[in-house]
Structure 1
Amino acid sequence: MFLSVSSYLLLSVSLLFFLLSGILLNSGYEYFLEFNALSLNSASFSFIMLFDWLSFLFGSYVLFISSMILKYTKEYMLGDSHLNRFIFLMLLFIFSMLMMIFSPNLVSILLGWDGLGLVSYALVIYYQNIKSFNAGMLTALSNRIGDAALLMGIAWMMSLGGWNLFTLKFYTESSLVMFIYCFIILAAITKSAQIPFSSWLPAAMAAPTPVSALVHSSTLVTAGVYLLIRSSEGFSSMMMMILLYGALLTMFMAGVGANLEFDLKKIIALSTLSQLGMMITILCLGGSKLAFFHLLIHALFKALLFMCAGAIIHNLNSTQDIRSMGGVSYFMPLTCVCMNISNFALCGIPFLSGFYSKDLIAEFLSMEMPGIFIYTLFFMSIGLTVSYSMRLSYYLFWSDLNFTSLMSFSDNNTKIMLKGMMGLVLLVVIKGSILSWILFETPYFLILPSLMKLLTILMIFLGSILGYEFSQMKFYYQSKVMRHISGSSFCANMWNLPILSTYGLNHYFLILSKSYFKTLDSGWLEYYGSKHMFYNLKFFSQLAQIFSKNHLKIFLSVCLIFIILLVLFF
């Protein structure tokens, strides 16, 4: 009952937010709501809420997708003995995201930011096993770097007299503000898992599938991109260039890794990583509104993709290896139709929602022409996206049946889950064109040479052929992979980033912290602090009381001892 009420309530608020965003976009108004807590040393401690079309539109998407996922959760987590705890964690996660969306103040952003990190850790370790614990620790430690960067930014902003992000752009000449922007960028790339912090994103797949659908579509990973969109006006050209190369390499690395991965949820996670790189790439080239457009479109089809994958995994007795699947379309036609639609939207097939943002991004980048290296890498990444989507579709839908005889599955087993998925399918088809009419006052029409104009479609076509060939040439492909095992494992393991993030960095820091804990916290500080300090203070206070009560006797005794010593020695 509580689950259904929460779902309908989120859906109602989502529709209200969408209407308000349309009204504010049309009128051009922005509203600030400020609560001034106190002023200290000429710094104003205030809680600010910003209500504009951007925050309301993103908030409506977060709430709509969350309501569909809660509907989906009703059946997916049916046998769970702690379902209410899971729902409360999900609602707390959504609330933290909304707090971050509506706050332009760095201190209140940190509250939502830390809430996301804490609740995501609780959700990743929801299944109590060693894999979940390791994934949760990697997620938490990676995100703490970003949290520490935000704290440093807050400390540096103390000298500006406030923590409002919009005031920073008036001080862009100051080197102090450049440091603050560096901390904001560091926080954003850790939360959005850009290189070198990419390893936690596939590891977070240890969480239940509804959590993955929420995290990878509209909440946790998009928080970093949203923060960059809000604060990108003041970034210097050098910052933009470093961010651009990092995002492009993340796109390429995730595309190559997804073509060599066999875990269904990890393939979709690497796809998320690739799309986040695309958003930040176009943001760095000056298309912040376009990046936000793709952020919203991506949230819809990625949530649907995860929900379809979860329905298949749920029916296959929690099997996630795509080599153990095949012929799923014969038994779950409706789920497979939904998954194919979201896959086509991800690839940028014309006239689905993903086409309206991805094609525009590709043409916008062609107009900018930042360099042949960036241009080539970007379009190669688009081709790789289609390649792993085609490979995934082949393994799931068109290959031979590879599952065991114990598995029996059908769309009838997932009726409630299908209701949640059906709420997103129509939007995945039509929302791209609707949003392009709403967000852009005048339609974008970019005039390019015919080859550059058709290059996106060409890369989609080449990527689909490559993905099909990868799937067809299984034995040849696997023999090639085994022959070049070091290079293949390097690409499949995300350029060894998980090893660097765990054994390379965290391993030594954890050993150091353990030695500090044993020698300092539980050793010298424990001996000279806490317990021993209590005994010392007790002893000296008792001694002081003896002196205060018997000062005359003690004085006469000391004088007598002093006289005896004088007599003895002189």
Structure 2
Amino acid sequence: MNNLVNYCKNSFYILFFISIVLFIFSIKFLLMDMIYFIEWEVISLHSMSIVMTFLFDWMSLMFMSFVLFISCLVIFYSKEYMMEDFNINRFILLVLMFVLSMMLLIISPNLISILLGWDGLGLISYCLVIYFQNVKSYNAGMLTALSNRIGDVALLLAIAWMLNYGSWNFIYYLDMMSKDKNMMIIGYLVVLAAMTKSAQIPFSSWLPAAMAAPTPVSALVHSSTLVTAGVYLLIRFNLLLVDSLSGQFLLLISGLTMFMAGLGANFEFDLKKIIALSTLSQLGLMMSILSMGFLKLAFFHLLTHALFKALLFMCAGVIIHNMKNIQDIRYMGSLSMSMPLTCSCFNIANLALCGMPFLAGFYSKDLILEVVMMSYMNFFSFFLFFFSTGLTVCYSFRLVYYSMTGIYNGISLNMLNDQGWIMSTSIFSLMIMAIIGGSMLNWLMFYNNLMICLPFLMKMLTLVVCILGGIFGYLISNISFFFFNKSLNYYKVSFFVGSMWFMPMISTLGIIKMPLILGLNCFKIFDQGWSEYLGGQMLYNQLKNCSLYVQEFQNNNLKIYLLSFLLWIFILLMLMLFLN
């Protein structure tokens, strides 16, 4: 046990130290506008050489520092959360391999090395989702792996198409070849790959299903690693999205994803699934602003979202841990009386998600919505942006209403407390970043003065939408909606909306139902039908009977010989009598 504790501590301190160093270097690279390409010749054989290329700029260094910072806190948090697990060593090694795959993806300007990190994320995420080894986690792991395989195939096709350019270092060709037909095909394939990894419609069903993984994994996967890989890839390929058909298509799909996830979270009662749908909604926001060409804004929201979403999952993990693995928010209530520190951090993360002024989410979210108002955009996309923002506040207030207020609705009075100092330390560290991170990144990334000039009503629109969303979230949870909640129409609506527009059923039953029916019919016709009865089965039965007869002769040869001798004598006697 002591070795395990030292192992956890060492990995925590090492990752934390590397994170701080990378963050300092990222500030230097940003202020001095530096980019480093490092080429490492792995093998050189005659005229052929295999070269690994790494790209270090302010964006990759800053993203790596945030991923490592969240990873080190998640590993430290896991020491207490996964204390009773016998295989915690394996768990921490999987998390470290997961982080390593993400690092490889971040610093790669080459499609081959991106595929290594991309497939590493897919494989290790499968291992982490099925970690608890029950039927639910196996199904979720298979859905996650198969959904992501579509993106892997798209990336492999993009690698094959890059042969037209003589090198897989796409970063060299984007600026010059952004309007070339071959490069546009690569752009379409990359958009498809990013849509699967970042769970956009119609590949959204795997993201809530992946909640079968342990909560520390969810905190890592849904904040800064797996789901953000698609967004980061599109940030690198952003030149192919601007003023193109793929960009317009992505804007529509990501807007609908944002709307669908926000709507579904208002009808969900599983604590982790609500936060997962919130992640899906924020991914839609990142993708939609990215498809409009604002890559710095998308990256800014990517980093701030990583901070408060990891904090949300960690707080949810402490609540679930204390409530003896109960995840249904209807069993909660008045948690702020028993767990004040956890609930304070939970509320801060929720308010940051809503865009509460001067918290981390406000700086990125408010800026995105103001840029949307200044941009040339149709009314439908405009409506999706602002209505989805209102829905975010709505489900956040609904979550707070169910878990923090009223009376405790648990099945027994468990010992609810904030005694776990390791988990509390991890949460408190992230809470500080969730408060100051947005302001710090805002001053670093947008150090030039920018003027956003909007009419007063449009300037206040974001605040008004958030307030209305909060009021509606309170009303939909309150007793005044009791009769509506019990009506049949409510159940019909909640079944459609809460099931993510039937997407999980389409992804599972919709794909497998027809092949299963076809297999059943083939089984009935061929394996159990007339053709089998008159063909293979009949031949088998005849041969079996013949072999039984032969075996009978072979097993009883002396008895049969004597019997046949007596029969032969009897026949001779009968012949002699007949002839006389």
Q: Which amino acid aligns with 1:448?
A: L
Q: Which residue of 1 aligns with 2:64?
A: 59
Q: 1:200 to 1:510 in 2, by over 3 A?
A: farther
Cα distance in structure 2, aligned partners of 1:514 and 1:216: 39
State the Cα distance separating 1:177 from its structure 2 match: 1.3
Match of 1:304 among 278, 286, 311: 311
Q: 1:371 to 1:355 in 2, by over 3 A?
A: same
Cα distance in structure 1, aligned partners of 2:318 and 2:179: 53
Cα distance in structure 1, aligned partners of 2:341 and 2:64: 29
Q: Which amino acid aligns with 1:289?
A: K
Q: Which residue of 2 aligns with 1:368?
A: 375
Q: Which residue of 1 aligns with 2:339?
A: 332
Encode CA deviations 1:201-255: one digit per residue, 9 max, x unaligned: 0000000000000000000000000000011112352111000000000000000
State the Cα distance separating 1:483 from its structure 2 match: 2.4
Q: Which residue of 2 aligns with 1:541?
A: none
Q: 1:467 to 1:44 in 2, by over 3 A?
A: farther
Q: Which residue of 2 aligns with 1:132?
A: 137
Confirm or deny: 8 A CA contact 1:216 1:302 kept in the other structure: yes
Return 484-493 or 235-244, whichever deviates more: 484-493
Map 1:40-439 onto structure 2 (within 5 A).
Answer: 45-169=50-174, 170-235=176-241, 236-412=243-419, 414-439=420-445
Q: Which residue of 1 aligns with 2:540?
A: none
State the Cα distance separating 1:510 from its structure 2 match: 8.2
TM-score using structure 2 length: 0.86
Q: Which residue of 1 aligns with 2:452?
A: 446
Return 506-515 or 342-351, whichever deviates more: 506-515
Q: Which amino acid aligns with 2:373?
A: S
Q: Which residue of 1 aligns with 2:577?
A: none
Q: Which amino acid aligns with 1:428?
A: A
Q: Which residue of 2 aligns with 1:500?
A: 506
Cα distance in structure 2, aligned partners of 1:231 and 1:143: 19
Cα distance in structure 2, aligned partners of 1:94 and 1:512: 42
The Cα RMSD (Å) is 2.1
Confirm or deny: 8 A CA contact 1:44 1:162 kept in the other structure: no
Q: Which amino acid aligns with 1:148?
A: V
Q: 1:454 to 1:39 in 2, by over 3 A?
A: farther
Q: Secondary structure at the match of 2:237?
A: helix
Q: Which amino acid aligns with 2:471?
A: I
Q: Which amino acid aligns with 2:293?
A: G
Q: Secondary structure at the match of 2:52?
A: strand
Q: Which amino acid aligns with 1:279?
A: M
Match of 2:18 among 13, 16, 38: 13
Return 258-267 or 158-167, whichever deviates more: 158-167
Q: 1:132 to 1:296 in 2, by over 3 A?
A: same
Confirm or deny: 8 A CA contact 1:168 1:234 kept in the other structure: no
Cα distance in structure 1, aligned partners of 2:208 and 2:171: 34
State the Cα distance separating 1:505 from its structure 2 match: 2.1
Q: Which residue of 2 aligns with 1:557?
A: none
Q: 1:509 to 1:126 in 2, by over 3 A?
A: farther
Q: Secondary structure at the match of 2:203?
A: coil
Q: 1:161 to 1:417 in 2, by over 3 A?
A: same
Q: Which amino acid aligns with 2:505?
A: I
Q: Secondary structure at the match of 1:32?
A: strand
State the Cα distance separating 1:515 from its structure 2 match: 12
Q: Which amino acid aligns with 2:453?
A: I
Cα distance in structure 1, aligned partners of 2:473 and 2:292: 30
Q: Secondary structure at the match of 1:329?
A: helix
Q: Which amino acid aligns with 1:119?
A: I
Q: Secondary structure at the match of 2:179?
A: coil
Between the two proteins, the alignment pairs up a number of residues equal to 515
Q: 1:443 to 1:477 in 2, by over 3 A?
A: farther
Q: 1:168 to 1:70 in 2, by over 3 A?
A: same
Encode CA deviations 1:316-359: one digit per residue, 9 max, x unaligned: 00000000100100100000000000000000011111100000
Q: Which residue of 1 aligns with 2:578?
A: none
Cα distance in structure 2, aligned partners of 1:134 and 1:26: 47
Q: 1:224 to 1:508 in 2, by over 3 A?
A: farther
Q: Which residue of 2 aligns with 1:22?
A: 27
Cα distance in structure 1, aligned partners of 2:259 and 2:469: 13
Confirm or deny: 8 A CA contact 2:484 2:490 kept in the other structure: no
Cα distance in structure 2, aligned partners of 1:164 and 1:444: 34
Cα distance in structure 1, aligned partners of 2:407 and 2:413: 17
- Uncovered stretches (5+) of structure 2, i.e. residues with no partner: 1-5, 527-580
State the Cα distance separating 1:513 from its structure 2 match: 11
Q: Percent identity?
A: 55
Encode CA deviations 1:134-176: one digit per residue, 9 max, x unaligned: 0000000000000011011101111211111213322233322
- Uncovered stretches (5+) of structure 1, i.e. residues with no partner: 520-570
Confirm or deny: 8 A CA contact 1:7 1:67 kept in the other structure: yes
Cα distance in structure 2, aligned partners of 1:295 and 1:514: 47
Q: Secondary structure at the match of 1:121?
A: helix
Q: 1:157 to 1:272 in 2, by over 3 A?
A: same
Confirm or deny: 8 A CA contact 2:158 2:186 kept in the other structure: yes
State the Cα distance separating 1:504 from its structure 2 match: 1.2
TM-score using structure 1 length: 0.87
Q: Which amino acid aligns with 1:317?
A: K
Q: 1:497 to 1:182 in 2, by over 3 A?
A: same
State the Cα distance separating 1:406 from its structure 2 match: 4.5
1:470 aligns with 2:449: no
Q: Secondary structure at the match of 2:39?
A: strand
